[in-house]
Homo-oligomer: A and B are copies of this chain.
Amino acid sequence: MTIVTLTTDFGLIDPFVGIMKGVIASRAPAARIVDVTHGIPPQDVLAGALALRHAAPYFPAGTIHVAVVDPGVGTARRPLCVETATGVFVGPDNGVLSLAAPADAIRRIVALTEEQFFLEPRSRTFHGRDVFAPVAAALATGTPPGALGADVAEMIRIAPPLPVVETGRIRGEVIYVDGFGNLVTNVDEPTLARGGRGSVVVRGTRMQGVQESYAAVARGEPLAVVNSWGLVEIAVRDGSAAKKLAAGVGEPVMIEAE
């Protein structure tokens, strides 16, 4: 049984996600549909790419991952199908697939030009329904990627900003804020090992070291941990760091060796 995952910025207020599931269930009745998330902030392609990067590895090989964060819907931006060793990724060519499908893992990139796999008529505003869901259904029922269009050499790549390692400190920044208000930074464990982990400073608040778990500090106090994505995260025990520190995406985070 093939799994089709969905990652979008459609939210769950409207029936858009349900409609995509209807299309997939109609055309690929045996496919199993799993939501990764539909809570990506509207048009935030990087947030969608990060969510997919951190979710895809936990699904079985061969899973079809559909990601629709698509501010360019209706323009000439290409719809893509990207095959890697671990899965198949379907979505617009705007970078949303690029973190989950790194360059060295790619087997082929196909521009989706074979319109007989799309819904007819095709809207200019909802390719989740009209292009990406039916293409995922085609893949789930055994259509090879190569039948969906022409191979292309490249896709648009995006990435969060890189941290800067200096003598005695690492200058990072917040790249994602989760629903608990945890501030996820761009500093991963290997980078942390190259710099120090003596203290972490965000908006003038200095935290002692990088802790092992949220419980290292008292309730309501801020701390730094390495989170489940392998990234340094600023949290407040039983609280919201985003609120307490009044910080969001882009906020500088300084990690000092001592």
Using a CB–CB distance below 8 Å, which chain A residues touch chain B?
A: 1, 3, 5, 7, 10-19, 21-23, 25-26, 29, 32-39, 42-43, 51-52, 54-56, 58-60, 63, 71-75, 123-126, 129-130, 178-180, 212-215, 225-228, 233, 237-238, 240
Contact of A54 among B7, B15, B43 (CB under 8 A): B15
Contact yes or no, B130 A213, CB < 8 A: no
- Contact partner of A228 (CB less than 8 A), chosen from B35, B125, B178, is B125
Contact A212 B15 (CB under 8 A): no
Known contacts A12-B37, A36-B15; decide if A23 and B58 are in contact (CB<8 Å): yes
Task: Decide if A124 touches B225 in the complex (CB within 8 Å).
Answer: yes
Q: How many copies does the complex hold?
A: 3
Is there an interface contact between B14 and A37, defined as CB atoms closer than 8 Å? yes
CB <8 Å contact, B39 and A18:
no
- Judge whether A71 and B32 touch: CB under 8 Å: no
Nearest-neighbour CB distance to chain B for A229, whole angstroms, equals: 9
Contact B1 A123 (CB under 8 A): no
Known: A43-B238, A71-B238, A225-B124. A13 touches B29 (CB 8 A): no
Q: A22-B34, A33-B34 are in contact. List 6 more A-B contacts (CB 8 A).
A: A3-B25, A17-B37, A22-B60, A25-B59, A43-B238, A74-B212
Would you call B18 and A34 a contact (CB within 8 A)?
yes
* A25-B61 Cα distance, complex, nearest whole Å: 11
Q: Which residue of B lies closest to A10 (CB)?
A: B179
Q: Which residue of B lies closest to A38 (CB)?
A: B12
Cβ distance A245 to chain B, nearest Cβ, rounded Å: 17
Report the separation of the CA atoms of residues A21 and B178 in the bound assembly, to the nearest whole angstrom. 18
A51 touches B3 (CB 8 A): no
Say how far A128's CB is from chain B's closest CB, in angstroms. 9
Enumerate chain B residues within 8 angstroms of A26, measured Cβ to Cβ: 58-60
Distance between Cα atoms of A250 and B227 in the complex (Å): 34
User: In the complex, what's the smallest C-beta–C-beta distance from A213 to chain B, in angstroms?
Assistant: 3
